[in-house]
Amino acid sequence: MSYDIFFASSNKNKFEEAKNITSKFGLQLKFLKSDLQEIQADTLEEIARHKAIQAFSIHSRPVIVEDAGLFIKSLNGFPGPYSSFVFDTIGNKGILRLVSVKRNAIFRSIIAYCQGYDDVHFFSADVDGMISKKEQGRKWGFDPIFIPSGKNKSYSQLVEKNQISHRYLALKKFANWYLNKKRSSGL
């Protein structure tokens, strides 16, 4: 099988979701299992840039990485770019204990495509929603506690998650850009 692009991550769930999404646009992803350093930074873009350049330097080929953050409005955007660390330390149950009456949140995805040390492109997307009052469903990450606007179920419970999520929207932007780039270069 031929692959269009390599997806660097240590998270097989994230890869499977990304592969499912990009296949709808005619792109085939190959998983590059990579334990990339998760730097602590003030923006998702900084984290994604660092991971993308690191993955490029390890694998010597163009790659994409994805970083996501859950920004809870009543917590001044926390955990935001620290979402991975917060999930690993306090998890969904800890987030649910922190959130009070105001439950509005944004789930943001950043795709970073790197084809050289000074050649990183970003594709981002946000989905508005709210934090549920308890975990709903059994999928990975913050999916059991995030309910997108206009829905009454968490990402974990939604069959159509891969058609509406922040990751879907960011990957759609990337796929359109990448396919246009391929067409314009005659590949």
In the chain, the amino acid numbered 102 is K
Burial of 129 (C-beta count, 10 Å sphere; 0-12/13-18/19+): buried
Set 42, 67, 119, 128: catalytic member: 67
18: Cβ contacts below 8 Å, ≥ 6 apart:
7, 29, 64, 66, 167, 171
67 is a catalytic site residue: yes
Q: What is the Cα–Cα distance from 142 to 164, expressed in whole angstroms?
A: 15
Q: Looking at the annotation, which residues are catalytic?
A: 67
